[in-house]
Amino acid sequence: MESHIVKILSIEDVTHNVKRFIVEKPMGYVFIPGQATDVAINKPGLENELRPFTFTSLNDWNYLEFTIKIYKGHDGVTEKLGSLSIGDELIVHEVFGTIQYKGIGIFIAGGAGITPFLSIFRQLNQTGDLQGNTLLFANHNEDDIICRTELSYLLGENLVNVLKEPHDPGIKSEVINEELLLGFSGSNINYWYICGPDAFTNAMVGHLEHIGIKKEQIVIEQ
């Protein structure tokens, strides 16, 4: 399996538990927005601890960007990533992933499942093809919304934040269910893109199929 050692160029906080890593881009490294790679930390004993992360950069940028949720308290890979510094090294592997843009649709993201969509939205905005797409973004509360300002700028009223326990008493508590999805199921919607934890993805697929969406219209990571 081909791999590349890349140096971390910058680390920024995106939310209280999400960090943005900018790393070197290997010569000739190519990917499509929505795709991912396996990443490891280039330190003794960690080189084979691979975890999949989606690129949130675009292919024509001269660096790679990963937007990663840091899970603390169980000494996992993301917790170790959260303790890294500029100049530390990662190991990136081959590109994979089946969540790719096929046409205008509804994007459904659960938490850190937004990451493949970030790259897709940035690419569509660059090419002038973003209009008509809608994002339903499920989070626990306002503090968990990844890249909230950028998504608001890109999507405007087509960004729908769905918050289970919002801090703002003026915001309705809700989750993405069949009733909500039915309100977006117009005849001009060709595709439904879903990304999030497995339980979230499975629930969304079930909801969509129950309201009559065909399997070939549903795009998930295979």
pLDDT at 188 over 90: no
Helix 148-155 vs helix 115-127: crossing angle, to nearest 10: 40
Q: Is 145 exposed, middle or buried (0-12, 13-18, 19+ CB in 10 A)?
A: buried
Please provide the average confidence, as pLDDT, over all residues in the chain: 96
Which residue shows structure tokens 């893109």?
193
Q: How far apart are CA 213 and CA 75, in angstroms?
A: 41
Q: How far is it, in rounded angstroms, from Cα 142 to Cα 78?
A: 22
What stretch(es) of the chain map to CATH 3.40.50.80?
Answer: 105-219
Superfamily (CATH H level) for 4-96: Translation factors (2.40.30.10)
Strand partners, 136: 108, 160
Q: How many CB atoms lie within 10 A of CB 114?
A: 25
- Reported confidence tier of residue 74, pLDDT bands at 50, 70, 90: confident
Burial 24-54 (b: 16+ CB within 10 A, else e): bbeeebebebbbbbbbbbeeeeeeeebeebb
Domain 105-219 fold is Rossmann fold (3.40.50)
Angstrom distance (rounded) from CA 120 to CA 122:
5
- Pick the closest to residue 95 from 18, 146, 157, 28 (CA basis): 28
What is the pLDDT, as a whole number, of residue 38? 97
Looking at residue 73, its pLDDT comes to 84
The pLDDT tens digits of the residues spanning 140-182 come to 999 999 999 999 999 999 999 999 999 999 999 999 999 999 9
pLDDT in tens, 100-147: 999 999 999 999 999 999 999 999 999 999 999 999 999 999 999 999
pTM: 0.95
Q: How far apart are CA 36 and CA 82, in angstroms?
A: 19
Domain with CATH 2.40.30.10 in the chain: 4-96
Helices and strands in the chain: count of H runs, count of E runs: 5, 11
